[in-house]
Structures are given as C-alpha cells and as structure tokens.
C-alpha cells in the first residue's frame, strides 16, 4: 500500500520579540492579583444629593450587553481611587498586548470564556488547585512554548481537580459562574434529567459550556465536590493527567489569566488515549490526535525532552492506546523526523519492556527450558 502523502509541519516558531512580549504580559498579570472583568472601562463620578460624591467603574462585560457600573470609592478616598486607576491602566495595556499577540498568531479564547476564567481566578480557584484541561490547555501550551499551530475553535471550558481544592471556605461554583452575568444554566451530569449538575451552559446551540471533571475509573460517573457545592464527571486516567500540574496563562478576550494546566507531556499522552475513545465523534478524535502530535513535536524539538523518560509514569492502558495511534502519528510527524524517532523509541521501548516482564524467567535445570 502506498504511504500517505506527507503532512505539513505541525507548528512554526515565533520570533524572539513575540515570546518576550508574551512573557512580560504573563509576568505583569500574574503579579497583579485580581483582574478586572470585561473591558477596562473608565472611572465616572456620581453625585448623590445629600450623601456626597462617589466613583464608579463603567465597563462592558461583552459588546452586546448593557454597560455595567461598579462602585469603587467615595470622592475623598484617594488611595482607593488611585489603585483602581492603576488597575484600569494595566487592563488597557494588557488588552492591547493581547490584541497584538492575536494578530501575530497566538492562541486567544473568546471574550465570554475570559469572563469565566477571570471569575475563577479572582475567587482563588486556580491558586487552590483547579486545573484548566482540554483544548484551552493545549492553546495555553502553544503560547508558552512560543509556537503557532492550528487550533480548533472551542465553545467548551474544561475545568478539573484531582483532589479537594485547598480553599479556606467553600466557594459555590454556580455562584461563581452566575457572577459573570452570562445567563448560565445548570446541565445534568448523567443521562437522566434528574442527575446532579456537572456543567453549565449559556443559551443557544453554540452557547459556551463549562464542564467540571475529576479522576475516576468509570467514564461519566457523577462525583460530589463539597468545596464547590457542585458535581463533576469522572474521566479515566485523570489522576495521571492532573498529577504535577504547571503554572500557565490563558489569553482570552482582552485578558491574560493565570491558570494551572496539565504538564504538556501528560496532556499529549492522555489526548492520544482520548482519541481512541471517541468512536462516535471522529472529528474530536482527529482533533485530539493532532493536538497530541503537535505537543509531542514541540516537546522534542523545542524543549529537548526525551519522551522515553516520560512514559515511565504513563498508565499501561494509555500507552496501549498511543500505540494504536502510531500509524497516524507517523504520518503527522513525518515533517518532524527527530520527534517521530523519539515517539517510536518511547512506544517500542516500553512494549519490549512489557514483553520481557511478562515472560517467566527459566531457572537453571528447569526441564521446560529449551535445548
């Protein structure tokens, strides 16, 4: 059978100044603390007869939504007024930086996704251990590595936790998403309409959806998360995926939001596994496969990572799924021969090791030993 036509390179590297611009944006927003939701806005003074004058921040959550006004301080509270002025100034600068990075080809999520991520950040959920997974995590790693690649637009935000979040007091997940004022409704986590909710969704067929996930041996089992007063759906091998997450950032709307993301090599191997579990959705399976191949190529070529060292921690079933995808990986990675060699060596090496471990050692004098 003739070999499939070689594919195009999976990614291209940005020039140094682009990555420098991104790194400065991330550093400044990571040190900022809470972020301003919506547009940067402006300060407006309001007179109240008999009660004095007050400063408000006027801004828009989304372009088609009404303008919002949030109380800031009284006329005489100069420190609070100055602090908000500085926050608005940073938000204006960040918005312009994100706009330029989007134009240059960096991955930027939509504005409604930005509102959700900002709310999660401001309520301390990421600092407590919440992890951004799925396509948005993949997009975040492309930016972190300073590379440009094809990324399917997504209307899903996948959030996950392996262990209970380290929160001083519980944080209601539903209250957090309702604070975005985007009209989210709860979606049952199971097949039955009476199942506890594990997701929320905006109105409309293409409305943004936020899923909460956790680790568990059975796909789709609904698990209670008391610290969020919410539920999550279990996904096999998420304990592997969510082990040792890394600090990252998500560009969304006009924001740069500090988040946690799975280690990129774990995200790549788990996406290969996921691509073999989507028999009814070939488009998502191919998307997972391409994202995994791209991450593996970047890790080898840009990060000098030896993949053989990463497979030691990968569960056997995940590696078996990766081997099923090897022919497709070979085609996708043809423009990346060094990465392809690393993938083949990692997968074939672990296969040979598994065979050796499964073969009983014959002791001297064993009559069953071959002549």
pLDDT of residue 50: 79
Predicted pLDDT of residue 191: 65
For 195-220, give the DSSP string. SPEEEEE-SSTT--EEEEEEE-SSTT
Q: How far is CA 371 from the centre of its chain?
A: 57
Residues belonging to the chain: 371
Token duo for residue 190: 């199971």
Low-confidence ranges of the chain (pLDDT < 70): 1-6, 191, 350-371
Tell me the pLDDT tens digit for each residue of 262-310. Answer: 999 999 999 999 999 977 778 899 999 999 999 999 999 999 999 999 9
Q: How many CB atoms lie within 10 A of CB 72?
A: 20
Nearest partner of 294 among 88, 139, 95, judged by Cα: 139
Percent of the chain whose pLDDT exceeds 90: 82
Mapped onto helix, strand or coil, the DSSP state of residue 185 is strand
Check: CB of residue 45 under 8 Å from CB of residue 75. yes
Q: What is the pLDDT of residue 24?
A: 98
Asked if 81 and 72 touch (Cβ cutoff 8 Å), the reply is: yes
Angle in degrees, 0-180, between the axes of helices 282-301 and 337-358, rounded to the nearest 10: 100
What does the alpha-carbon distance between residue 154 and residue 140 come to, in Å, rounded to a whole number? Answer: 13
Q: Are 120 and 35 in contact (CB under 8 A)?
A: no
pLDDT tens-digit map of 168-201: 999 999 999 999 999 999 998 776 777 899 999 9
pLDDT score of 228: 98
370 φψ region: left (φ > 0), alpha (ψ -120 to 50), beta (else)? beta
């Amino acid at each position: 059978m003739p070999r499939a036509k070689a594919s195009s390179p999976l990614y291209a590297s940005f020039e140094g100044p682009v990555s420098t611009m991104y790194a400065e944006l991330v550093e400044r927003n990571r040190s900022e603390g809470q972020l301003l939701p919506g547009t940067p806005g402006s300060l407006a003074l309001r007179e109240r007869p008999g009660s004095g004058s007050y400063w408000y921040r006027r801004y828009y959550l989304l372009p088609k939504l009404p303008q919002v006004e949030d109380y800031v301080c009284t006329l005489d509270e100069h420190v609070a007024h100055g602090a908000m002025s500085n926050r608005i100034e940073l938000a204006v600068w960040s918005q312009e930086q994100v706009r330029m990075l989007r134009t240059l080809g960096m991955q930027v999520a939509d504005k409604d996704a930005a509102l959700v991520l900002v709310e999660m950040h401001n309520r301390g959920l990421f600092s407590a251990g919440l992890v951004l997974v799925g396509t948005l995590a993949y997009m975040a790693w492309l930016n972190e590595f300073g590379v440009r690649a094809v990324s399917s637009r997504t209307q899903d935000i996948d959030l996950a936790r392996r262990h209970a979040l380290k929160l001083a007091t519980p944080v209601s997940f539903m209250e957090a998403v309702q604070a975005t004022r985007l009209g989210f409704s709860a979606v049952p986590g199971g097949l039955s309409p009476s199942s506890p909710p594990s997701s929320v969704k905006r109105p409309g067929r293409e409305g943004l959806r936020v899923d909460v996930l956790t680790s568990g041996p059975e796909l789709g089992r609904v698990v209670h998360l008391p610290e969020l007063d919410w539920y999550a759906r279990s996904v096999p091998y998420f304990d592997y995926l969510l082990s040792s997450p890394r600090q990252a950032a998500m560009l969304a709307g006009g924001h740069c939001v500090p988040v946690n993301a799975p280690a990129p090599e774990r995200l790549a191997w788990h996406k290969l596994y996921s691509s073999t579990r989507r028999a009814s959705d070939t488009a998502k399976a191919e998307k997972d496969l391409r994202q995994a191949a791209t991450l593996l190529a970047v890790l080898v070529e840009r990060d000098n990572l030896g993949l053989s060292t990463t497979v030691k921690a990968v569960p056997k079933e995940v590696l078996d799924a990766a081997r099923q995808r090897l022919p497709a990986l070979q085609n996708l990675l043809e423009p990346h021969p060094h990465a392809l060699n690393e993938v083949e060596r990692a997968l074939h090496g672990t296969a040979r090791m598994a065979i050796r471990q499964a073969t009983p050692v014959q002791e001297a004098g064993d009559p069953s030993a071959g002549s």
